[in-house]
Amino acid sequence: MKAVGIVVEYNPFHNGHLYHIQKAKEQTDADIVVAVMSGPFLQRGEPALVSKWCRAKMALENGVDLIVELPYSFATQHAAVFAKGAVDILQGLECDYLCFGSESGDINEFSHTFIQLQRKQDEEDLLVKKFLKNGSSYPKAKSLAMQELTCRENDRGLNLSLPNNILGYEYYKAVHTNHYPMEVCTVARMNADYHDKIFTSDSIASATSIRQALLKEEGSLKTIEPYLPLASLNLLRKYKETYLSYHTWENYWSYLKFRLLQTTAKELATIYEMEEGLEYRFLKYVKEASSFQAYIRLLKTKRYTWTRLQRICVHILTNTKKEEMAVHSQPSYIRLLGTTANGRYYLKEKKKQFALDIISKLSSFDKDKIALDIRASQIYALGAQATAQEQLLNMEYLQHPIIK
């Protein structure tokens, strides 16, 4: 069986994701789709709208055959680490292809840019330092450096100012620098841009605009119906009925504020991604802010992006220390979330070739290895209404992989 791997968040699963799955199978002629999906907290430093189990069900109902979790130690990282962790897991699952969405839609642009930048790594490092010194954030400095290097020679050019192109480049780089045998391809994003906050199409919308509309309408699904498959709509409805709310940062603001008010600058400095004296800024503004959004607005500067600050807040919330993340430089296990019949057959056929352990039951695995993921899921459960928290807390231990 041939497998195409995809990297996803599904926050929530919408028609654009369905299109990606269909085109990935069409381009590769693969028998099954394997998805590695972020868990409770996402790459931009946000809690997922609904649990990983609910999002895994959405995926299985819409064409994914095998879905596994991207561990917290990669899911809440900048693009390069996020991409490497995801690609390592897809390679561990013996995927034949990797297919990602991009603004470009042309894999030759990624190939050309990769070759160009590999030749200029030292120059890139110097340019990144220059832009950082000028006050740019690291992602911005990295993007500016890559753009300058590729433009110097009238490059055919991958636009590396666009978020999915940047992430796609990191996927391509992870595959080729590790000499993985996966073939890489890309699908052009349709109609909606990644950061769109309003609907610009009759059937395709960004996850950002869908979440904003859903929350603005206080959970009413009517506005977002044209943009989601029926299974996603039904699962969103059921989730709200069961857990009484969706998850946003405001659900966790009181917990984050408590953590900040009872810690010292010295203790805060041990938190992952807390650098350059940022701990003093975090402590300075916590008493002034009345909400999470207000707090981030107070923290934000030209150098420190909203996304980076949110990620640091996630690490504060989960009490994730620098030394703890240092030991997770590469995946050491694969957490199985769900499969279809085809997915089960693929596991049976390929399992002996896998280099990483497959976790289907927490009770049969070393808890120390997966402690960070468990802690993140437990903290995430606190974002549900108080009467529903226990059920969500217990799912981390009691929920078996979903079988469709």
* Residue 17 known to bind ligand: yes
Amino acid at 343: G
* Residue 108 known to bind ligand: no
* Residue 159 known to bind ligand: no
* Residue 9 known to bind ligand: yes
**Strand partners for 290:** none
Q: Phi/psi zone of residue 193: left (φ > 0), alpha (ψ -120 to 50 degrees), beta?
A: beta
* Residue 20 known to bind ligand: yes
Pairing of strands 402-403, 357-359: unpaired
* Residue 39 known to bind ligand: no
* Residue 14 known to bind ligand: yes
DSSP 8-state assignment for residue 50:
S
Q: Are 116 and 282 in contact (CB under 8 A)?
A: no
Q: Which of 358, 355, 377, 338 has the alpha carbon at shortest distance from 67?
A: 338
* Residue 181 known to bind ligand: no
* Residue 176 known to bind ligand: no
* Residue 273 known to bind ligand: no
Q: Are 292 and 252 in contact (CB under 8 A)?
A: yes
Q: What residues have CB less than 8 Å from 259, skipping those under 6 apart? A: 316, 317, 319
- What's the CA gap between 111 and 63, in Å, rounded? 28
- What's the CA gap between 277 and 26, in Å, rounded? 50
In the numeric block, which tokens belong to residue 276?
């350059």
In the numeric block, which tokens belong to residue 207?
């996850």
In the numeric block, which tokens belong to residue 244?
């009484």
Sign of CA dihedral 333, 338, 343, 344: positive
* Residue 314 known to bind ligand: no
* Residue 375 known to bind ligand: no
* Residue 101 known to bind ligand: yes
Mark the binding-site residues, compressed into ranges: 7-20, 101, 164, 189
Annotated binding site for ATP: 7-20, 101, 164, 189
